[in-house]
Amino acid sequence: MLSASDPLPFRPERVLIAGVTGSGKTTLARRIAAQWNLVHHEIDALHHGPDWTPRPSFLEDIRAFAGTDRWVTEWQYTSKGTDAILAPRADVLVWLDYPWPLVRGRLIRRTVKRRLFRTKLWNGNVEPPLWNREAWSGENDILRWQSDTRHKWDERMPRIEASFPYLTIVRLRHTREAERWLRA
């Protein structure tokens, strides 16, 4: 596993970005796409249909772009079968393993902003209003989801390393490391 200080041994062409909800996977994916001339496929846009319903073509769409030569995407929806499609095709996995207070604060700010300004997301979806109590405590509470999955990547990474030994993994432990790594 590489750190922010270790140079990549090659120019990546297929990149996965992993991390807890709110770590900045999509933002980093966009930056990597622009910097390395890759196509960014935002996985949330492929998953969420109108009214937050899962799109029936989700895995089909994942297979389609994973079969191309140059892409970057966020690694999530692992319980829906994306692992078996994306990991065998990727050549680099960037793991955003940031401190809990940082990712928690980011998610709170993002969620409040989206709800307050009624930001249109994928396929016309909008998060519930800021004052909707169920959105902060129900089954779809993003903050609870983040807490519940906080250690997911810590637990999965040893299995990922063993299952995909050809996959170069870069572990970034803070946004400062991510910035340094991108500059290098």
The pLDDT tens digits for 164-174 are 999 999 999 99
- pLDDT of 183 higher than 80: yes
- Whether residue 4 lies inside any domain: the answer is no
Residue 137's CATH number? 3.40.50.300
The total of other beta-carbon atoms located within 10 Å of residue 15's CB is: 24
162: Cβ contacts below 8 Å, ≥ 6 apart: none
Residue 91 · residue 169 · CB < 8 Å: no
Task: Let me know the angle formed at the C-alpha of 42 by 87 and 69, rounded to the nearest 5 degrees.
Answer: 50
Average pLDDT over residues 44-69: 96
- Whether residue 24 lies inside any domain: the answer is yes
- Whether residue 166 lies inside any domain: the answer is yes
- Whether residue 6 lies inside any domain: the answer is no
Residue 75 · residue 96 · CB < 8 Å: no
Confidence (pLDDT) at 158:
96
Q: What are the DSSP calls for 11-79, one per residue?
A: --SEEEEEESTTS-HHHHHHHHHHHHT-EEE-HHHHHB-GGGPBPTTHHHHHHHHHTSSSEEEE---GG
Report how far residue 20's alpha carbon sits from residue 79's, in angstroms, rounded to the nearest whole number.
15
- Whether residue 104 lies inside any domain: the answer is yes
Residue 162 belongs to what domain range? 14-183
Number of domains in the chain: 1
Pairing label, strands 92-96, 71-74: unpaired
- pLDDT of 30 higher than 90: yes
- pLDDT of 93 higher than 80: yes
Confidence (pLDDT) at 132:
75
Helix (H/G/I), strand (E/B), else coil: 96: strand
- Whether residue 27 lies inside any domain: the answer is yes
Average pLDDT over residues 20-34: 97
Give the pTM. 0.94
Report how far residue 111's alpha carbon sits from residue 168's, in angstroms, rounded to the nearest whole number.
32
Residue 126 · residue 120 · CB < 8 Å: yes
Confidence (pLDDT) at 78:
86
123-148 confidence digits (pLDDT tens):
999 988 888 777 677 777 889 999 99
Confidence (pLDDT) at 7:
92
- pLDDT of 54 higher than 90: yes
- Whether residue 1 lies inside any domain: the answer is no
- Whether residue 147 lies inside any domain: the answer is yes
How much is the mean pLDDT over the chain? 94
